Structure 1
Amino acid sequence: MQIKTATEQTISIPRPEYPRPDWQRTDWQNLNGQWQFALLSGEAEHQISSQEPAHYDREITVPFSWASPLSGIGENVAGTGWYKRTTDWQPQTSDARIFLRFGAVDYECSVWLNEQLLGSHSGGYGSFELEATEHWNTAGSNTIVVKAVDEDHAWQARGKQGYGEIRGIWQPVWLEARPAAFIRNAKFETALSGEVTVALEVEAKQAGPARLSFKFDEGNVLVEREVQLTAGLNQWTESFTVNQPRLWSPEQPELYEGELVLSGSFGQDVVQTYFGIREIGSAAFGDRGYRWITLNGKPVYLNGALDQSYHPTGYFTYPSDEEMRQEIFLLKRLGLNFVRIHIKPEEPRKLYWADKLGILVMEDMPCFWGEPDERARSSYEREAWEVIQRDWNHPSIFSWVMFNETWGLFTNGMANSLTSGGEAKQSYLPETQQWVRAMYRWAKSVDPTRLVEDNSPCNWDHVETDLNTWHFYINGYEQVRNHVQEVVDKTYTGSSFNYIGEHVQSDAPLMNSECGNVWGIEGGAGDSDLAWHYRYMMNEFRKHEKLCGFVFTEFRDVTNEFNGYYRLDGTDKDFGYDAYVPGMTLADLHAADFVVIDAPPSETVAAGSQKTISLIGSSFSDRYHGQTLTLCWELWHDQLGTRVIAQSGEQPVRWSGYGTFSLPALALTMPAVDAAAVLTVKLVAEQHEVVTRNFIVFDVRSGKQHGAYEAAGQFISKPIADFSSCSFELAWSSLSEAKQNGAGTGGFAYELQLPDRKEQPFISRAELLFEASAKRVLARDAQGAKLLHHDISMMHGADAQVELNPNTYYMTDEEKHESRVEVWVDGEMIDSIVLPDDPADSRGALSWHYQQAANRLEDAGSYGYLCRVVLPGRVVAKLDAARVCRVELRAKQGGLALYGRNAGRYPLDLLLHYQ
């Protein structure tokens, strides 16, 4: 759809495009930009009052919350905001009706035009409009005054505004012209057959005949009806059929774009809109006693992310339309097909891009944080109605979530923990449960076309729902594996598991609606690598066909949670998977057709030992059904910088149907040397198309004192903890002394003793090998770690003090922290090596493998670069004579971390290789 803007607008206006591309008219005026503003903090009178402040002492940029930086105010205070501006805009026709429209205002809003009250609205998330025709000055300028009161009452629907408060006007404001009779609303309901049913609302000043036209798909869909209007609100239903319908899906987001036209003696009302033909549901397949979520009648595996929809400068208002489009693009490039908008309805323009680019949306209702008293319930119900009515036509939305984690549903004080517990369950009263059931059933009656969830739970407290979901935040392979298995085993029709009171499970689809390791760590994960945990968690999910989707926490980092796929500013994190399997990205873990490696992510094995690995196929797509695909595998390892393939093979596999099925097991023989051996699998279709990739790692140990490596000559291995001196002002060890860290400028020195002449008569060549990185110094390194108690305050934006968190070790991203290490041998500088970064991601397999506790991280995933320094002949000559040398590794400013045999990426200590 071409997005039109009024000719009066300029690109200097923030958010200049029409705010509702799903329901757009051409005669309009954008009121975003500079308004006069006054902010009065403290308790305000609740009655509607036109008593403006004595003067407006500043300007604010609409549509940004007055708490946000982009507003130009940037004051996070509750109170009353007064807005004022004038406009000389006039509609194109003199007899047009004029409406003043607001995307959203938090919380209680009153509006005056030319000193006449137009009306008021209560609720922070719903859109509303007020007719301004009667008081519009057609001969000159018009003055608009808006009073917005936001006092953070416990009964207000607020959601997770702790990340950034949406105070006052926080979505676009605009004027719009319409004829005397106009289309107020149209709800499109579609079927796979191509039948489209439209529930219409038309408002008319007077009775009379009219013509209604449906013009879509460049005229390929054209339907016209003669209708008889009565004065006031007219409601009726129309149906038509689209021939050879193109179905909407994330892979092919087909939209039927066009317009509705209402014409008659009153003129013509043209609304540009669109619809997508798709059906959302659930169904059991074969003889299974449980359902899967379906899209267009077929199972769909939901690879999703939790999206806080938070921006560092606009908070919950995006600075530009392009940034909203970019959000959907960033999700899709990861191979995700859906997003859960967390505890808030999304801006209409971002939902438009979800429709246009193709991503499914689970949209939450905003919660209140007090108790479920009468006022909280009534305000919630009003806003839920507004949200569903506004967003009905977005084909991307497949589910409404009425509540989250029982927030706002506890009586006698909110639960102070995010885990399940007696206190939380006891305070979720039976009468509140019945209200939640009523809200679920109400939403189903209002919108039977979508799935509805009563409560997205972390306390095992469903009541009645279309989606049997649960939350977990657990770290550690065995812990995740056992937890997921337990949930799957306890999920069946009639089970009381995950339900509260006397309520029991139906055959509703099982999916996870929040997961990750951010809260599965003592004191929180801080800012650390998530790549290692993520891969094995995806692997465990796909092993169970009963489980048909997940929501990973989260899309981007936010103010105190750093477990996003991306940084808050949208920059990339490097997961490091392509170092194991060339070309592998996160998208491989989100493939509809997947190969499960039913084994730990890493395992210690003896050199030369045998290992059998089970594989499982998982299919939630019929794309390859009936085809023979090729399973390609390799067992390889890095041997001192050289990639060595120990074993490889290919075998055909029949990809026959939905669900999980056994694939041929792999018989492996481990390398005969010390190695971090990698088993990789690729599923390949015709034309060499890679369907999915996966891997696991083995720490292969030779058991020899100095290690065993595939190279001619001999090795002397020196544990990196056995340094003879250290010149760093700040130095410390980690990973059970398998890693040595030095901050700033300084170095570590080692004394190496070589064999005497009886054992090695002549030394002709020698080189040093070691693994090293720069050392980024955190506050905890210099000041000591501080373990915070992570309670519900974190959901309100509490400071995580991330650099004091003992678990923090920044994941590899676009920000680099370079250092340089000089290699000195017996007082002579031999080489200088640039260490590009201090990285941590899945490549740090040994740092992950040797973590002491699953719920406490120590430099998790950190690793360095393999450094090889060939000693000059003159130095080798001295070494041949003395048979002892002093090696110094000196850092310049950027610090130095050295990784030993049980840390980092490479299974070696400081090595001297000689011949």
Structure 2
Amino acid sequence: MTAQALQTTTAALPRPEYPRPDWQRHDWLNLNGTWAFQLQTENNESGSTQLADRFDSEITVPFSWASPLSGIGRSETGIGWYKREVSWSPETSGSLVFLRFGAVDYNCDVWINGVHVGSHSGGYGTFEFDVTSVWKSGEGNIIVVKAEDFDLKSQTRGKQGYGEIRGIWQPVWLEARPQSYIQAAKFITKLDGSIQVNATVAANKAGDAKLQFAFAEGAVSHAELVTLEQGVNNISVSFQVADPQLWSPESPYLYEGEITLASGEGTDNIATYFGIREISTALYGDRKYRWITLNGKPAYLNGTLDQAFHETGYFTYPTDEAMRDEIYLAKRIGLNFIRIHIKPEEPRKLYWADKLGMMVMEDMPCFWGNPDETARPAYEREAKEIIDRDFNHPSIFSWVMFNETWGLRTDAETIALTSQDGGKAEATYLPETQEWVRSMYRWAKSVDPTRIVEENSPCNWDKVESDINTWHFYINGYEEVRAHVTEVVENTYPGSSFNCIGGNVQTDAPLMNSECGNVWGFTNGAGDSDLAWHYRYMLNEFRRHDKMCGFVFTELRDVTNEFNGYYRLDGREKFFGYEAFVPGMSLADLHAPDFIVIDAPPCQTVQAGATVSIPLLASSFSDRYHGQQLQLSWELWHDNLGTRVTNERGVVALDWNGFGVTPIAAPLTFGLPKQDAVAVLALTLRAADGTVVTRNFIAFDVRSGGDAPVYDADGQFIAVPVTDFVEHSFAHQWNAIQEGKTNGGKAGQFVYEISLPDAAAQALVGHVELAFEASAKRLLARNLEGARDQDHTISMMHGADAAVEYNSNTYYMTDNEFHESLINVLVDGEKVASFLLPDNPADSRGVLSYQYQEVQNKLDEAGSYGYLCKVTLPSSITAKLDRSRGFKLTLEAGEGGLALYGRNAGRYPIDILVNVK
């Protein structure tokens, strides 16, 4: 069978595409698919291949034996033995044959036809073996792979835990090459179009060869004659690109093409690409601190932590489309970079980041034991493999060498053995380890001066030396976040010891947040709750500071025990609800490079009719509109019992000039409604052609302050608190949000006694309207059995169960999964209306459920809200009420349950309202 025919048969295999689009040869065979398999859970194997007759199962490569897609689904550590028979011949006789592995965790040995062809150690680096001497072209060849993974503390394990990458977990393939071939080529690009290529050529014989570069359909072409020595040759080539097209997230231009080596040993053709871009840091104006720059201009980095975890393949994506979609999901909400967390990413996903335009901060995998003489060399070896493999991806702008001091503390037992004072030892980030970390930073800068390097992305104020000054925080509550971010900014300046350890001090390196969010920001953290409200005010606080040039939000998708994603683990969307405040607003508005900061709380309680002034700031990290006049449209509106009412509106002309954060000269001043309301200040910034640049908003809890609520409607309002029911029949009932909300589930009734004005106060009851806010009520395990909160230690980094349904902070954010309930409204036992409540939602629309949280770090059904239900009673009933001057109101729910929101909860500032006319 020809190679082409064999390749066609791989179409039905998992991950059939070539694994390295950044370095692709055409003559290859995909070895993904079914292999014989044996899992040995004890390390008592001598290293032989005597398991040949004891393979007891089959595994699907390239999936970890722990993952569902592997067909094994066993998480144990151990030794995985793989076996496959392959018949394949290169297209050109005399070609070299290489067996290539994307990645194998952790120690790997390979035999071909019983002959040991090589070993590799490390869980993330790519590697290959020249198997030409033992390969039988046109005959059956037996490949046996031994993959050993015992989770040793010295392993570069990274952040697995959610699911393990045991054994082969990236594609495996055979590849043919001529006797002399190009081993590698690193592209170093400049904005003026000058390109330097540092190539490595393996030559079978000494002699002359032609090295040729052809890109952009021939528009870029260069060739050089080179003289090769037998063995490995390092060659540097330079050429110029005319009218260079720069790579950026907005315009991800790639120069795609081919490198060719033509020699007496044949022709080696490699399809590859490069992008022209420069990432750096720079001082602007009279500032004493740097900003991050892309292609010579300041860039505000809107990023997210990407755990790169898939529910079925774990850290191996099931398809190429899934990798593309991952980049797309980040791109569609306005993000411009992702931080791949504690691991390098698969090359094909990096390709999609290159292709679609997504910058990447790529972490090195950590070890979890002591930084000793075993762990350090293993780490150094793997870091070199990672940087070598991924050097040419224009999307990668930063290497992060360590995270949160993981693996950098020497444990107490080891310190105690060497301690002379007899005191109680603690795990410590030792000075000698700090110096090793500094050396790793400097080494990375020496091998790749084209990128930003961070030595440690910290949460312990323990930086040593870095190109960027970052920190982590997980704090909830507007005042708390504001105070914290302000403190960090004010303590960031050259010479400051803040955020440093061991006598080190800050330079003028850019300030950036490298992890933030609210998944760990609560007592007993890691619930599954709405993040929309927190996210908006946090980004406002970031953009308020001229020093800050980016953030990393935790995280792109939920994972198995963290529920802080923009999306669910399976990619389902979460709904943030911003469009309800400003038409058309979405997450992308908060990620706009040109932004209007509202320097005020996300909501404040104010007196009806009061006049307020709100300061605004302009934040610009793009020169797209510099020199232009932008139009800031503003509107103060409120909802009056289901009718949107505009109180005031206006337009402010802004001369948009210069990078950074500057105050807008005059604050917005306006009067608030003269009634109970949730009022909204909605802002829209537009360019001269009408293009929307960004949107933003804040809210006001407006209170009339009298004994009775005030609304703009005829009649007399009677307000009955939702918790003042006289009876209920729910199996599970409780109140929430400081008695502002009541819940019942599953089926049942809330019954209220309603008293109407007597004849002296109102002679005739001619018209009665009811209004209330209600939602379905989804019962969680904690609602049925009680909360079971737990301290979330470092074990959560290794996949410990979050017991989310028992977590007291859990209240599911609005997403694609709906929970509906049918309710009936009865007056004195007679049904007057029915409502199908579509869901039990929670997002930023639940303004009052946030405003009346008792404490900021312990959520009580925060963000929850309902639907406005209005009923006009029929005349046959109002005639009776004119005589009785009271009635029994029953709200009856089916199996979907019922939640009722009072004046201080939900979306609408109402109790159960009875409007009598």
TM-score, with normalisation over the residues of structure 1? 0.98
Q: Does the Cα contact within 8 Å between 2:201 and 2:234 map onto a contact in 1?
A: yes
**1:733: which partner in 2?**
735
Is the partner of 1:880 in helix, strand or coil? Answer: helix
Q: How does 1:367-766 map to 2 (within 5 A)?
A: 367-413=366-412, 427-663=428-664, 664-766=666-768
Q: Does the Cα contact within 8 Å between 2:581 and 2:682 map onto a contact in 1?
A: yes
**1:197: which partner in 2?**
196
**1:237: which partner in 2?**
236
**1:33: which partner in 2?**
33
**2:784: which partner in 1?**
782
Aligned equivalents of 2:328 and 2:138: distance in 1?
A: 46
**1:214: which partner in 2?**
213
Is the partner of 1:768 in helix, strand or coil? Answer: strand
Aligned equivalents of 1:79 and 1:269: distance in 2?
A: 40
Is the partner of 2:441 in helix, strand or coil? Answer: helix
Q: What is the letter of the counterpart of residue 465 of structure 1?
A: S
Deviation at 1:270, TM superposition (A): 0.4
Change (3 A) 1:570 1:7: same
**1:136: which partner in 2?**
135
Q: Does the Cα contact within 8 Å between 2:303 and 2:552 map onto a contact in 1?
A: yes
Q: What is the letter of the counterpart of residue 909 of structure 1?
A: D
Q: Does the Cα contact within 8 Å between 1:6 and 1:27 map onto a contact in 2?
A: no
**1:18: which partner in 2?**
18
Deviation at 1:879, TM superposition (A): 1.2
Q: What is the letter of the counterpart of residue 357 of structure 1?
A: L
Q: What is the letter of the counterpart of residue 811 of structure 1?
A: M
Q: How does 1:867-886 map to 2 (within 5 A)?
A: 867-886=869-888
Does residue 351 (structure 1) correspond to residue 350 (structure 2)? The answer is yes
Deviation at 1:363, TM superposition (A): 0.2
Is the partner of 1:9 in helix, strand or coil? Answer: helix
Q: Does the Cα contact within 8 Å between 1:425 and 1:459 map onto a contact in 2?
A: no
**1:838: which partner in 2?**
840
Q: Does the Cα contact within 8 Å between 1:6 and 1:28 map onto a contact in 2?
A: no
Deviation at 1:6, TM superposition (A): 6.8
Q: What is the letter of the counterpart of residue 647 of structure 2?
A: A
Aligned equivalents of 1:609 and 1:727: distance in 2?
A: 43
Q: What is the letter of the counterpart of residue 666 of structure 1?
A: L
Deviation at 1:297, TM superposition (A): 0.4
Deviation at 1:264, TM superposition (A): 2.1
Between 1:699-708 and 1:889-898, the stretch displaced more is 699-708
Q: What is the letter of the counterpart of residue 205 of structure 2?
A: Q
Is the partner of 2:8 in helix, strand or coil? Answer: coil
Deviation at 1:687, TM superposition (A): 1.9
Change (3 A) 1:776 1:690: same
Q: Deviations over 1:560-616 (max 9, x none)?
A: 000000000000000000000010000000000000000000100000011110000
Change (3 A) 1:34 1:526: same
Q: What is the letter of the counterpart of residue 16 of structure 1?
A: P
Aligned equivalents of 2:203 and 2:561: distance in 1?
A: 51
Q: What is the letter of the counterpart of residue 707 of structure 1?
A: P
Q: Does the Cα contact within 8 Å between 2:526 and 2:802 map onto a contact in 1?
A: no
Unmatched 5+ residue regions in structure 1?
A: 416-421
Aligned equivalents of 1:827 and 1:33: distance in 2?
A: 66
Aligned equivalents of 1:369 and 1:801: distance in 2?
A: 25
Deviation at 1:423, TM superposition (A): 10
Q: Does the Cα contact within 8 Å between 1:257 and 1:273 map onto a contact in 2?
A: yes
**2:185: which partner in 1?**
186
Aligned equivalents of 2:32 and 2:413: distance in 1?
A: 38
Q: Deviations over 1:875-899 (max 9, x none)?
A: 1111112110111000011000000
**1:808: which partner in 2?**
810
Deviation at 1:759, TM superposition (A): 1.6
Aligned equivalents of 2:211 and 2:409: distance in 1?
A: 49
Change (3 A) 1:5 1:673: farther
Deviation at 1:200, TM superposition (A): 0.5
Q: Does the Cα contact within 8 Å between 2:108 and 2:145 map onto a contact in 1?
A: yes
Q: What is the letter of the counterpart of residue 378 of structure 1?
A: P
Instruction: From 821, 824, 836, give the equivalent of 1:822.
Output: 824
Is the partner of 1:218 in helix, strand or coil? Answer: coil
Does residue 865 (structure 1) correspond to residue 867 (structure 2)? The answer is yes
Q: Deviations over 1:205-242 (max 9, x none)?
A: 11122111100000000111111111111111000000
Q: What is the letter of the counterpart of residue 457 of structure 1?
A: P
Deviation at 1:424, TM superposition (A): 11
Q: Deviations over 1:25-70 (max 9, x none)?
A: 000000000000000002244x643332541101000000000000
Q: What is the letter of the counterpart of residue 382 of structure 1?
A: R
Is the partner of 2:483 in helix, strand or coil? Answer: helix
Is the partner of 2:435 in helix, strand or coil? Answer: helix
Q: Does the Cα contact within 8 Å between 2:110 and 2:117 map onto a contact in 1?
A: yes
Deviation at 1:703, TM superposition (A): 1.1
Deviation at 1:426, TM superposition (A): 6.7
Q: How does 1:232-381 map to 2 (within 5 A)?
A: 232-381=231-380
Q: Deviations over 1:706-764 (max 9, x none)?
A: 20001111211111111111111111111111101000110101111111122211122
Between 1:725-734 and 1:4-13, the stretch displaced more is 4-13
Between 1:715-724 and 1:901-910, the stretch displaced more is 715-724
Aligned equivalents of 1:139 and 1:803: distance in 2?
A: 58
Q: Does the Cα contact within 8 Å between 2:411 and 2:426 map onto a contact in 1?
A: no
Aligned equivalents of 2:808 and 2:80: distance in 1?
A: 42
Aligned equivalents of 2:747 and 2:412: distance in 1?
A: 53
Q: Does the Cα contact within 8 Å between 1:125 and 1:387 map onto a contact in 2?
A: yes
Between 1:200-209 and 1:767-776, the stretch displaced more is 200-209
Does residue 852 (structure 1) correspond to residue 851 (structure 2)? The answer is no
Aligned equivalents of 1:670 and 1:880: distance in 2?
A: 36
**1:159: which partner in 2?**
158
Aligned equivalents of 2:366 and 2:424: distance in 1?
A: 20
Change (3 A) 1:285 1:6: farther
Is the partner of 2:449 in helix, strand or coil? Answer: coil
Is the partner of 2:12 in helix, strand or coil? Answer: coil
Q: What is the letter of the counterpart of residue 832 of structure 2?
A: I
**1:60: which partner in 2?**
59
Q: Deviations over 1:168-206 (max 9, x none)?
A: 000000000000111110000000000000000111111
Aligned residues: CA RMSD: 1.4
Q: What is the letter of the counterpart of residue 28 of structure 2?
A: W
Between 1:491-500 and 1:138-147, the stretch displaced more is 138-147
Aligned equivalents of 2:386 and 2:91: distance in 1?
A: 31
**1:419: which partner in 2?**
none
TM-score, with normalisation over the residues of structure 2? 0.98
Q: Does the Cα contact within 8 Å between 1:9 and 1:30 map onto a contact in 2?
A: no
Q: Does the Cα contact within 8 Å between 1:6 and 1:26 map onto a contact in 2?
A: no
Deviation at 1:7, TM superposition (A): 3.5
Aligned equivalents of 1:213 and 1:784: distance in 2?
A: 70
**2:418: which partner in 1?**
none
Deviation at 1:525, TM superposition (A): 4.1
Deviation at 1:300, TM superposition (A): 0.2
Q: Deviations over 1:220-267 (max 9, x none)?
A: 001111111111111110000000000000000000000001112222
Deviation at 1:414, TM superposition (A): 10
Deviation at 1:705, TM superposition (A): 2.1
Is the partner of 1:368 in helix, strand or coil? Answer: coil
Aligned equivalents of 2:573 and 2:283: distance in 1?
A: 39
Deviation at 1:914, TM superposition (A): 2.1
Q: What is the letter of the counterpart of residue 619 of structure 1?
A: S
Between 1:125-134 and 1:873-882, the stretch displaced more is 873-882
Aligned equivalents of 1:128 and 1:598: distance in 2?
A: 53
Q: Does the Cα contact within 8 Å between 1:190 and 1:196 map onto a contact in 2?
A: yes
